[in-house]
A = this chain, B = another copy of it.
């Protein structure tokens, strides 16, 4: 009991500092990646979630994107003003507002994926030595278990399902990634 008090503070401090260092690296690389598209990180994240889940509610976006509902709503409004997404109500559910990507929104998002350069993503580069050693990227099962505990089963399962669907929608042609569009884009494809 006495020992665990100390262990608790040390473990908490370790987690706080490791997670800050990890996130600050990802945040910096993510911002640089999407800067040419005049998007900030929250806006890009919203487009991404709307792409993965057609008709996501603002509260879905806030939950899955780990942002305040007001942040999700305000940046969604900005994206709507740029014609990148639309708000709508479902006929059987008038209470919630749903967000749908427009063709322009999807086109912009897919362009960001096409320009993704893993060599500018430090966490990818940092995962390579582990991949070389074990033959696969780290799976972070303990970390995922902790996130399941913090945010709930639905959060992690939704994340894994959307990641899986996203992966299924990608094909590789001539060494280039091709993303299956979700909206109808006769002019683009």
Interface residues of A (CB under 8 A from B): 1-3, 5-27, 30, 66-67, 113, 116, 118, 121-127, 129-130, 137-138, 140, 142-147, 149-151, 155, 159, 163, 166-167, 170, 172, 175-177
| A171 CB → nearest B CB, Å | 8
Q: How many copies does the complex hold?
A: 2
Q: Which of B26, B129, B137, B167 contacts A6 (CB 8 A)?
A: B167
Contact B17 A19 (CB under 8 A): no
What B residues does A142 contact at CB under 8 A? 130, 138, 140
Q: Known contacts A6-B170, A10-B167, A150-B126; decide if A20 and B118 are in contact (CB<8 Å).
A: no
Q: Which of B6, B126, B149, B175 contacts A147 (CB 8 A)?
A: B126
